[in-house]
């Protein structure tokens, strides 16, 4: 289904992983392999807990992008994941915690240079919608919405940037 996505992303420091985990409604393990990238359009396959598989095309940059997600059957999804791994496509693996409207990602691969870094993101209804940067166990460091170095594709391709 094609939809406009309005999303803000933040680099965070995990100050208490237990507080974060207890505040989460649930968590899931994600693996994303990037199949192609051209002219601000990324195509990826995502596995959620190795049970649900989603093919996704994202277009655009920054706070507003277009996203087209299609759930695919597990057999096809697993074949696509294995083929992408064999061809050494860029890949990330992360644990995602869901906290109301927030999603907090703990990257396992590529691992951040600081074991306590997390990326928190929130989807909004409009670019000017107010929200509060407050999640138990996290300290918000800075917004990275418009910093292309922190897109999942760039992290999978180039690893984590060195912080200034």
Q: Domain map of the chain by residue range?
A: 2-158
What integer pLDDT is reported at residue 162 of this predicted model? Answer: 83
What integer pLDDT is reported at residue 60 of this predicted model? Answer: 93
Calpha distance 21→43 (Å, rounded): 30
104 near 118, Cβ under 8 Å? Answer: yes
Output the CA torsion 109→111→117→123 (10° steps): -20
pLDDT band of 120, cuts 50, 70, 90: very high
* pLDDT higher than 80, residue 83: yes
Q: pTM of the prediction?
A: 0.93
- What's the rounded mean pLDDT across residues 91-111? 96
118 near 138, Cβ under 8 Å? Answer: yes
Please provide the average confidence, as pLDDT, over all residues in the chain.
95
* pLDDT higher than 70, residue 164: no
The topology (CATH level 3) of 2-158 is Hypothetical Protein Pfu-838710-001 (2.40.320)
Q: How many CA atoms lie within 13 A of 46 on its CB side?
A: 20
12 near 163, Cβ under 8 Å? Answer: no
* pLDDT higher than 90, residue 29: yes
What integer pLDDT is reported at residue 50 of this predicted model? Answer: 93
């Amino acid at each position: 289904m094609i939809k406009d996505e309005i999303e803000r992303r933040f680099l965070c420091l995990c100050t208490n992983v237990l507080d974060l985990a207890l505040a989460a409604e649930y968590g899931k393990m994600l693996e994303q392999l990037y199949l192609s990238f051209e002219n601000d359009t990324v195509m990826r396959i995502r596995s959620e807990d190795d049970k649900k598989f989603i093919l996704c095309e994202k277009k655009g940059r920054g706070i507003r992008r277009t996203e087209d997600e299609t759930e695919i059957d597990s057999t096809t999804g697993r074949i696509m994941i294995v083929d992408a791994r064999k061809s050494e496509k860029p890949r990330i693996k992360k644990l995602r915690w869901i906290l109301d409207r927030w999603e907090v990602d703990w990257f396992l691969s590529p691992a951040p240079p600081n074991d306590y870094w997390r990326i928190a993101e929130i989807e909004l209804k409009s670019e000017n919608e107010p929200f509060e940067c407050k999640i138990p166990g996290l300290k918000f460091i800075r917004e990275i919405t418009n910093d292309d170095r922190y897109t999942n594709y760039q992290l999978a391709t180039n690893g984590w940037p060195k912080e200034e």
